[in-house]
Each structure stands twice: as C-alpha cells, then as structure tokens.
Structure 1
C-alpha cells in the first residue's frame, strides 16, 4: 500500500534511533535514513511508465516535524487544563482524519484495507495529541502564567539513556486532571530527590495549565537546612 509504506519507513527509522543504546549508533541510523531519502528510496508505488520513483516532500516534512515535536513532548514539563486537553484531542482527531484522507487518496479505502486505515487513524491521533496538548501551549502558558507553589510526593525516580528520552525523570502524585505528573528535571534538582520524598512544586499557572518551573524537597520542620531552592530557569 503506497501510503502505508511511506508512513512506515520513517516510523521504523525513528523507532530504531530511539532504541539505540548510544548516541553514535543513533547518529549512524539517522545518517543512513537521510541518505536513503536523498537517493529517493522508492517508498511509494508509481505507475510503470514513470521513469523513476517519486516521494512526497510535504509528507516527509510533516513526519520530521511530528517526530521533533514528539521528542519535545517528553521534555517539556507542561500539563494542560481540561479545556486545553479536550481541544487538543479534537484537533488531533481532525488532523488525523485529514492525513488519512490525504495518504489514502492514492490508494482507495475500501474492502479489506479499511481496518488498516482505522488502525492508522488511531496511531495518528496518538501521534498528534501529545505535541498539540503539551508542546504548542507550553510557551504561552509560561509567559501568561502566575507563579504558584503546591505540595506533592515523588512516586518514582529514574531516567533513560535512549535518544529523546529524559535522563533525569521523576513522577509526582498530584491533584487535578493528571494526578501523576512525569517531569524531566535538570541534574541539580533531580539528584537530591528520592522516591517517597515530599516536595514543593513551583509552576507558572494559567487557564492553559501548569508549566513546572522547579521541584525541590520540602523543608523539614526541624530546620535541617533541606529547604526549597528558588525557581530555576525553564528549558529542561
């Protein structure tokens, strides 16, 4: 199926790169992929009278853009409000429908192929939702938000060495739409925390949601000096 072949090639390349154990292996995979695309790898079926394979630059640009946005979604500590989350879901549904119709225009959606397009639609909704809900509103929320602090508890501390994944990540038990927040922290904030610690979270809060600025261990009642540091610059 022409459309699915063009979607699957970048998806497989991105998956291999994200699972690579080291940056050198990952870089090699990406260079190989770029080289294949530069040579116009035949990822789409074309008419037999066509002299050479054809690709869709717009589709390739969309895939690269969504991949970049998805990586950012793993590192941006923004948690949308209910209205923003619902709006993002609606936008993801609409964009996914448009993409399915666009990709499927060269391959009629009928018969036994319908279930493949339904599966592709679900995957596209998942692909679109996180960038729209967690990345696009993050900067406006940071600019418009008012600083607030609240208490939470560390339920997990860990990280990953895979490309794109956060190497210093904690999960917090909080209240609200997303009761468990997965936050990517700079090393200075991450190192002192342990699972089960009570922490104070500083965020830029607005009608869009909460943009987390700082996470620090809650000051003890005995004055042992384990206080909360001031807000750090975002960009983690």
Structure 2
C-alpha cells in the first residue's frame, strides 16, 4: 500500500511538473514572439530614421548630404569601369520674386512640383536631390556630356510648359529653370571638381538669360550651348 501511495504521489508530481513545463514552454514561445515583433519594429524604426537622415523633408528627394556621398561613390565607380558620369545643377529662375509675390506656401508647392517633374522618366540608377533652397541636382550614371545635355533640355522644357499657379506672372512670362551640365572625366576627375564645374555652368546659364541649359566650359569649344 505504501509503495502504491509513493507511486501515486510520483505520478501526481510528474503531472504537475509536466504541466508547469508546458506552461514554461508557452511562456517562452510568447516571449520569443514578442522579441521578434519588437526586433522587427526596431528595424523598421531604424530604417525610417536612416531614410530621414538622407531625405529632404519638403520635397521627399535625397538631400545635400546624401548627394555628396552618392556622387563620390559614382565617380569612383565610373573611374574604375571607365564609364562617363554627368551631373546637372538646376536652379528655379526668379524664385525669390515668386516667393515675395505669392508667399512661401505657394513657393513650397513650386519646389515640390519641380521635384516631381525632375523625377519623371528618371532611370532607376539616376539620382535626383534637392541641393538647397531652390537648387536641385541630378546624377546621370553612365551618361556622356552631350546625352546629358539633351536630357537636361527635356527637363527644362517639361518645367517651362508646366501650368504652375501664377507662372504667367513671372518676369519671363512662365516659371522656368536654368541648368548647368558637367561630366566626368571631361570636366573633372573628382566629385568636388565636378560639382564646381556644374555650378559654374549653372552660373553661366543664369547670366545667359536663364531658362536654358549650359555645358561646362571645357566642352563649349567643341559644341554649342543648348537652350
């Protein structure tokens, strides 16, 4: 009888331990699920933060900082593979006039619309960024200078023919952009030099009457200015 009681007690103990073990397994499974969920949420939050760090808040384009990082990578890749690379520097003409007469909210709408027009028809590997203020930049990978000039002219025309609010009240009769074009390796062998060459071409476009595309000086002796 005593042996039976011990056996019965052991059986009850085993059942109790088994139940507790099952409960621990369930708790562990729930804990692992929560950890997985939190890890996923943290990864998504980090991804959003990383995207915010390289994105312009107004237009949704890449920002000035990321442009410099990407341009350095693309120049290095082009040099390694012996391929051309072009950079467009773009400025919205008479933007201060527009802001002063129609207000900053309307000016912000213009910048967002220009950003959208710049990305229309963009190839997957190309990059559009807001350089700052009313200036934008476009990196055209594997693109020679005169091909880049043709693409720039299409962009200029797309903006010039868009029905912007109050566009007809601009000094030129419509809202427009000026574009400077420079290419690697024709105009510079490193990123900062390429930016300087494209910016110089943009400056020339502004002084040529705006609403035009100008190539960096090194190639202007070989081909006429577009615009």
TM-score, normalising length: structure 2: 0.26
Task: From the two aligned structures, give the one with the greater helix fraction.
Answer: 2
Q: Point out the structure with max Rg over C-alpha.
A: 2
